[in-house]
Amino acid sequence: MNKPYVVQAWKRDEGHGAHHGESGDAGPDILSPQENKQYKILIVDDEAVNRQLMHDLLVVEGYQTKEVIDGLEALQSASEYEPDLILLDVNMPGMDGFDVALKLKRNPATHHIPIIMVTGLSNRDDQMRGLGVGAEDYLAKPFDATELKIRVRNLLRMKSLHDFVKNHNRTLEHEVQQRTHELKESVIDSIHTLMRAAEYRDDKTGEHVQRISHYCKFLSGELGMGSDFCQTIFHASPMHDVGKIGIPDDILLKAGVLDTDEWVIMKTHTTIGANILASGTSPYMEMGRQIALNHHECWDGSGYPAGLRQEHIPLAARIMSICDVYDALRSKRPYKSAFDHNIAVDVITKGDGRTTPQHFDPSILAAFVKSAATFDEIYVSHID
């Protein structure tokens, strides 16, 4: 069935000498062809004469067009051609325009494309149905050429505004990501500065804190923690002993066993470290503060400074506890020689009078035992 458009004269009044392509009643604010040349319009109609008429009308306005004959081709072209606007007929064989519009609006890749339903169905129910499936506008046949141009222009301006906001948001998101990256790097730089300050107190601290980062990140992954947690503990864990900056050298570097008073002072490195990190607001500093304060707490409540028990101890500190003990056992200290891997594992899993398995979260201890060989690999690959 033929459905020819009746396109009225493009001139307001023959006596006024208006020329082909004049904006007519649309006024002087209609976009010029030069301004419109970037816009692409998809014309969907099964009648060749109708497609040609709309093509001719739009091309003279400077728009680019693509014409398709049915709903399936319209859906494919909407994704591939990426039009700025779709002129969509309703009465087409197979998939009608209402179904096409509904599918376009449900597709995240095409839902933002404005649609003008162009059809001979002019009753109010059909118009409401078209708008109900997501079409932005409705134009009944026969249509006035100027009216079509105005509706096209207005919807393209709306699309332009949408694109501007979208691009602006994308730009802002990029700037936020860039700023976030810069802030992250700044925090990490601060962490490294703190660690360098600690290294001046003990020339072995550098290797120790590097290994601690890798132990904690690996063990967190074995426990099923997400990538954000693993990355945060990687950067936060080296700050566990930053409070030792406040411990006098004669105690920190003492070759023999600490007496009671010295031990009281040594234990304050946990609260000193927490106080140093308390002013930080980043996730790294907050986790670092938790670890610094609580990494000597024990699962059975026998640790310090507060004697916390079980899950009252922050998870990051529980992970840090077993990593710190393992590396301390493997490392030479002023008061002890270095142990090999097997002895260190035996001390943690069986106890030696000073360290017992009850000091550690059972689930974390189990994960450590399961993956102890990787701890040895980390130690060997980061030894001086």
- pLDDT tens-digit map of 317-362: 999 999 999 998 998 776 678 899 999 999 999 998 889 999 999 9
Amino acid at 131: L
7 has a pLDDT exceeding 50? no
Q: How far is CA 160 from CA 52, 64, 73, 112, in A?
A: 26, 16, 25, 11
Q: Tokens at residue 264, please?
A: 């009281």
Instruction: Look at 69-73, 86-90, 242-246 and tell me which has the smallest mean pLDDT.
Output: 242-246
C-alpha–C-alpha distance, residues 269 and 104, integer Å: 63
Give pLDDT, residue 141: 77
Mean pLDDT of all residues in 241-256: 79
Task: Give the chain's domains with CATH numbers.
Answer: 14-170 (3.40.50.2300), 200-381 (1.10.3210.10)
pLDDT on residue 38: 76
| Per-residue pLDDT reduced to its tens digit, 209-247 | 788 889 999 999 999 999 999 999 998 888 888 888 777
Instruction: List residues bridging with 116 in a β-sheet.
Output: 87, 137
Phi, psi dihedrals of residue 211, rounded to the nearest 5°: -65, -40
CB 206 within 8 Å of CB 199: yes
User: Once rounded to an integer, what is the mean pLDDT over residues 123-140?
Assistant: 80
| SS3 state of residue 42 | strand
More confident position, 362 or 6 = 362
pLDDT at 169: 59
What is the distance between the alpha carbons of residues 359 and 348, in angstroms, rounded to a whole number? 9
d(CA 107, CA 110): 5
- β-partners of residue 139 are 118
Whole-angstrom distance, CA of residue 256 vs CA of residue 238:
26
Helices (H), 223-268: 227-236, 249-252, 260-267
Residues 6+ apart with CB under 8 A from 183: 282
Cα-based angle 338, 341, 342 (whole degrees, multiple of 5): 115
Average pLDDT over every residue of 353-374: 94
